[in-house]
Amino acid sequence: MRKLFDVDEYLRCIGHEGEAKPDLDTLRALHKKHLMAIAYNSVSSLTRPPSRRGTGVDLVDIDEDATFDAVIAEGHGGGCIQLSRLFFRLLRELGFDVALLGGSTVEGAQLFGTEVEHMLLLVTLDDERWLVDVGYAGPSFLEPLRVGEEIQVQYGVQYRLVEDAGSLVLRRCARGGRWHVVYRFTLAVREPAAWSEFERKVNEKLRPTEPGAGGVGGAGGGLLLCSRAVDDGQAVLKGRRYLTVRDGREQVRTLVDNDEYENLAAGILAGPVG
């Protein structure tokens, strides 16, 4: 039986026990638990659930009940818009002051040529603003970031928000590494319709694959992008590139062996990652 969107079921699926008050401690706990419990899954983001219109990928006018059932209750994970829309609704129903923001990753801007590609959230608590993002494949922050100029450290990784030409740029520096751009965004509050142009370009450029065919990447060997957080970092698989972050230290390697690739991808999607 399909499970409709339900706050208690959502909290159970991400492993949150006890009262969920609209405060900073709860926000931090929900953010990290979500990233650990629900995988980013690019294949699922194109195939679950199908578009109401019957053709293409439906990223804007999604059925939140169907999306909740597939992405959260069944544990298939999803892409940024699915994950962020569901987490937005969860926070709103818990009483948080939360808004949708639009941004763009470096690759997304190159591929789709639009400033509104990535979806993230802004939560306001006691006149402080917090950046919230459970829908980025990573590597990125595991707990909310305060919107400010200071360097913030999480699990050995430094983060900083830098103003640039009317936008905010999220920069990240792993232990012993260099600063690089994660994505850019603005603080303008958005409605889901703002992603309509991005949805149109996705449907022009990408074709959904059938899950369960041709390995974890789907039929046709499409590029799989998946990730899941661990207690002190993340594991990210992009095609054959496997990146892990533990206590701020990054390791990356190319997977040549097909069995290893399949096992690591299946492990990320099924979770938890060791």
**One of 34, 69, 80, 226 is an active-site residue; which one?**
80
Arithmetic mean of pLDDT, 6-31: 97
Whole-prediction pTM:
0.90
**pLDDT at residue number 210:** 40
Q: What is the pLDDT of residues 192-210, one digit of tens each?
A: 999 998 888 888 876 544 4
Predicted pLDDT of residue 75: 92
What per-residue confidence (pLDDT) applies to 2?
A: 80
Q: Report the share of the chain in percent with pLDDT over 90.
A: 74
226 a catalytic residue: no
Three-state DSSP at 273 gives coil
The number of beta carbons lying within 10 Å of the beta carbon of residue 220 is: 10
133 is catalytic: yes
**pLDDT recorded at residue 274:** 54
173 is catalytic: no
d(CA 8, CA 17): 10
Catalytic residue among 16, 31, 34, 118: 118
Give the alpha-carbon dihedral of 207, 210, 215, 220, to 10 degrees: -40
What's the DSSP call for residue 167?
Answer: E
Q: Which amino acid does the sequence have at 111? A: L
pLDDT at position 56 is 66
pLDDT digit string, tens, across residues 253-264 = 999 999 999 999
Element (H, E) at 170: strand 167-173
Residue 73 CA to residue 9 CA, distance in Å, equals 8
Q: Is the pLDDT of residue 144 over 50?
A: yes
